[in-house]
Amino acid sequence: MVIGENAHSNYFSESVYEKAAEPKELYVVPSANHVDLYDKVDVIPFDKLESFFKDNL
């Protein structure tokens, strides 16, 4: 899961993460809010997403 450090909805993602089965990873994007992760391509961690999917799918 990818969340922004300043997202007001982090508690939703954190509770889902706690209940999720392995493999799982919670990545917090520094200084980002929820909406930043929709369209600010410079803060979206594409490399982290790619490596997780390559390792686990």
Q: Give pLDDT, residue 27.
A: 97
d(CA 35, CA 56) in angstroms, rounded, equals: 27
Q: Give pLDDT, residue 40.
A: 96
Per-residue model confidence as pLDDT tens digits over 8-55: 999 999 999 999 999 999 999 999 999 999 999 999 999 999 999 999
d(CA 7, CA 22) in angstroms, rounded, equals: 24
Per DSSP, which regions of 1-57 are E strands? 2-4, 27-29
CA-based nearest residue to 6, from 37, 27, 34, 25:
34
Q: Give pLDDT, residue 45.
A: 97
Domain limits, the chain: 2-56
Q: Give pLDDT, residue 14.
A: 96
Q: Give pLDDT, residue 48.
A: 96
CA 40 to chain CA mean position, Å: 14
d(CA 44, CA 3) in angstroms, rounded, equals: 10
The DSSP symbol for 28 reads E
